[in-house]
Amino acid sequence: MKLRSTLLGLILIVVLSACVSVAKVENSLLWKVSGNGLDKPSYLFGTHHLVPISFLDEIVGLDEAFGSVEQVVGELDMSKMESMQMAIMQKAIMPQEYNYVDMLSEDDYKLLSSQVEEVIGLDFAILERMKPAMINNLLMITLYQKYYPSMENGVGIDQSFQDKARENGLSVKGLEDADDQIFLLLESQSMERQAELLMCSIKHPELLKEQMDRLQ
């Protein structure tokens, strides 16, 4: 169950951000899209999946914008998370012809095994058939939650947006589906490249921390 929850967090780690050039405000997350013949405005909001929903209280004009729209479009339709999670799990297994013993040196294999056990808290044997990209994302999710233990009741901004939309009778749609997420996370790079990036994360945790700090 703990592993399933962690994998659910993996799906949510992709960050959706946006910027509109017509405004001169910098570092804003909420944008109004209007004019140019549009009958009604739309609103664009950049989300960070692991920030607590209390952060939304700091966004000026968000409630007014939300109250004026007819539908909410998220990166994913969160009501379909269980089926998407199962699809991702099925595609997370490495092809039979690949294994970490062949892809890594003996020293790297030992380092990976020890770090998986230390950071994720699982014996590497449990994850050894998973694609390197999946293990890499599990490591990043685990470290992020360690550095920023800020999620409230496990509910992220995207989930709260969609829950509120449905409560208000609004239509909810997703920009991506399971196939999009699977390709992005698990199939867009070769197994060799995934293994290379995984070991880079293992050997240079300071770079991961720097990226996480910038995102936060």
Mean pLDDT per 10-residue segment, the chain (216 residues): 43 34 61 91 84 81 89 86 82 90 93 91 90 90 80 72 90 88 86 92 87 82
* DSSP bridge partners of 45: 30
Q: What's residue 26's pLDDT?
A: 61
Q: What's residue 166's pLDDT?
A: 92
Q: What's residue 205's pLDDT?
A: 84
- Look up the pTM and report it: 0.70
Angstrom CA distances, 186 to 3, 21, 88, 135, stand at: 17, 33, 8, 10
SS3 210: helix
The answer to whether 140 touches 13, Cβ cutoff 8 Å, is yes
Long-range contact list for 50-55, CB < 8 A, 24+ apart?
A: 50/9, 50/12, 50/13, 50/144, 50/145, 50/148, 50/150, 50/151, 50/156, 51/150, 51/156, 51/157, 51/216, 52/150, 52/151, 52/152, 53/152, 53/155, 53/156, 53/157, 53/160, 54/152, 55/157
The set of residues, in sequence order, having a beta carbon less than 8 Å from that of 139 and lying 6+ positions away, is 115, 116, 119, 120, 198, 201, 202
